[in-house]
Amino acid sequence: MNLKSAQFKLQARKAIGDADLRIKVKKATGTSLAKRKQVVEELADWEELRQKGHELRKIVVDNLDSYLSQFIESARRNGGIVHEADDHKSAKHIIYDIIRRVSADTVVKSKSMITEELHLNSMLEENGIRVIETDLGEYIVQLAGETPSHITAPALHKSKEDIARLFQEKLNMPYFDDPAKLTAAARERLRDEFLHARVGISGVNFASADTGTLTIVENEANARLCTILPEVHIAVMSVEKIIPSFDDLPLFLKLLTRSATGQRITSYVSLVNGPRSHHNPDGPRQLHIVILDGGRKRLAKHPEWKEALYCIRCGACMNICPIYQSIGGHAYGSVYPGPIGAVITPTLFNMKDSQDLPFASSLCGACTDICPVKIDLHHHLLFERREIVNRGYKSFIEKIGMAVWRWTMLSSGRLEFTGRIGWLLRKVLGKNMPAPGWTPHRQFPVIALRSFRSLMKNDTKYGT
């Protein structure tokens, strides 16, 4: 995967300086959170549902191989053509091959994070195939030549004015910044593409092992158009999208849609049970299911990190994260931003290049509290920090610094003494006291002469 996480610090600094971006991100995440709160609070058993979701995801990840073969068998029985891809390269090859065999030159596509992870579009375009993103947010991002900044709201970083200017420039339209009009313009342009494309590509939200059912969740109906109208439907998923049973769908739908968009259910949920047949009289002639491993089977065997595979990609941890709210999604430099991105990018892709991501957290735990499948996100961030240090990725200076800090913290006398020194320095240097990485943007706070501990000890008001 094309990771840009190595420049995280630089990107984050730039994003923090962009007040406009912060306003847009705060507004969007705030709206999502408020809606989520409403529909979650009306369920008295939300906590039990989360627990149940967690347990089912754990069962699948712990027995990934057997669930995978059960799913493949069921999907084949339904008439689907299943392809297993070990890595990104072979997944892209398989998809390209399917398209080439039907001599299609245009592909309509609905939202899929796995295809983002594959960088599928650029590969297909290099091979002369037009790829049209049809989810409105993805369409906007594609027109702008950008990547999504949020997993469920790809164009969250754009204002309606940004989009109006983009449409004006790329689609030769007059400028109007009314979301309804912009949406109508996209509808009009994409309708014909849907009707004529011979291949449609979609993602998969859940794949039921026992029945082979692919579940696709959406609001715009573009995924339905992509998966019903073209002759060939290619569904792209990763191995961990599997859930044990068809009967688990209501639970996971509840967890996903309420957390993601604050809806009790989305406008459309398609349960695809195979290609056209007597049972499925309309729909594509061929259904191809491409299942990507891409390091996930390895991750599933790791005692701690396997939990990252429980994720159902609702995006709630991004919305609630104070870091994400301040810098948006692009700064992370990974397809998966926010807390889950910071957990999964180092473990799944490249720890060295994404070593700064687990440190982009205040460890406040808001992500863990909101996660609908109870992934212990902030502890994973902590575990990964430890791993990054153990692997020796941190600089020598930082190591010395940490050693000194540790030495200081291990004795109350040394801690007290350091506090006094700090107080003295602050007194002499004033609020311009330098602290690298901190004071360029903030003032150094005043340090109390007497520490809280000594107050506790000596003052009868506080002491025991």
State the minimum distance, in angstroms, from the CB of residue 259 to ligand SF4: 6
- 378 Cβ partners below 8 Å, 6+ apart? 339, 361, 363, 364, 365, 367, 368
- 97 Cβ partners below 8 Å, 6+ apart? none
- Pick from 217, 371, 381, 388 the residue near ligand SF4 by CB under 6 A: 371
Q: Which 282-311 positions form the footprint of ligand SF4 (CB under 6 A)?
A: 311
- Pick from 201, 312, 335, 342 the residue near ligand SF4 by CB under 6 A: 312
State the minimum distance, in angstroms, from the CB of residue 257 to ligand SF4: 12
First-to-last C-alpha distance (Å) of the chain: 59
From the list 70-78, 98-106, 366-374, 409-417, the region that binds ligand SF4 by CB under 6 A is 366-374
Which of residues 223 and 344 has its CB atom nearest to another protein in the complex? 223
Q: What are the residues binding another protein (CB under 8 A)?
A: 24, 27-28, 31-32, 77-79, 134-137, 140, 153-155, 158-160, 163, 179-180, 182-184, 186-187, 190-191, 194-195, 211, 213, 219-222, 224-225, 228-229, 246-247, 249-250, 253, 261, 263-274, 277-283
Give how far Cα 266 sits from Cα of 216, 255, 274, 319, Å. Answer: 10, 12, 22, 18
| Residue 100 interacting partner from another protein, ligand SF4, none (CB closer than 5 to 8 Å by kind) | none
Phi first, then psi: give them for residue 115, nearest 5 degrees. Answer: -70, -30
State the minimum distance, in angstroms, from the CB of residue 402 to another protein: 42
| Residue 27 interacting partner from ligand SF4, another protein, none (CB closer than 5 to 8 Å by kind) | another protein
State the minimum distance, in angstroms, from the CB of residue 138 to another protein: 8
From the list 72-80, 138-146, 203-211, 312-320, the region that binds ligand SF4 by CB under 6 A is 312-320
| Residue 340 interacting partner from another protein, ligand SF4, none (CB closer than 5 to 8 Å by kind) | ligand SF4
- Pick from 203, 274, 294, 372 the residue near ligand SF4 by CB under 6 A: 372
Which of residues 64 and 312 has its CB atom nearest to ligand SF4 in the complex? 312
| Residue 373 interacting partner from another protein, ligand SF4, none (CB closer than 5 to 8 Å by kind) | ligand SF4
| Residue 389 interacting partner from another protein, ligand SF4, none (CB closer than 5 to 8 Å by kind) | none
State the minimum distance, in angstroms, from the CB of residue 338 to ligand SF4: 7
Which of residues 186 and 377 has its CB atom nearest to ligand SF4 in the complex? 377
From the list 101-109, 244-252, 369-377, 387-395, the region that binds ligand SF4 by CB under 6 A is 369-377
Read off the tokens for 136. 């409105």
Which of residues 17 and 250 has its CB atom nearest to ligand SF4 in the complex? 250
State the minimum distance, in angstroms, from the CB of residue 43 to another protein: 10
State the minimum distance, in angstroms, from the CB of residue 380 to ligand SF4: 10
| Residue 317 interacting partner from another protein, ligand SF4, none (CB closer than 5 to 8 Å by kind) | ligand SF4
Which of residues 343 and 388 has its CB atom nearest to ligand SF4 in the complex? 343
By CB under 6 A, tell whether 217 contacts ligand SF4. no
- Pick from 323, 373, 381, 388 the residue near ligand SF4 by CB under 6 A: 373
State the minimum distance, in angstroms, from the CB of residue 312 to ligand SF4: 5
What gap in Å lies between CA 294 and CA 302, rounded to an integer?
Answer: 15
Give how far Cα 345 sits from Cα of 7, 12, 264, 289, 411, Å. Answer: 14, 16, 30, 25, 37
- Pick from 123, 229, 269, 340 the residue near ligand SF4 by CB under 6 A: 340
Contact residues: ligand SF4, CB under 6 A: 259, 311-317, 340, 370-373, 375, 377
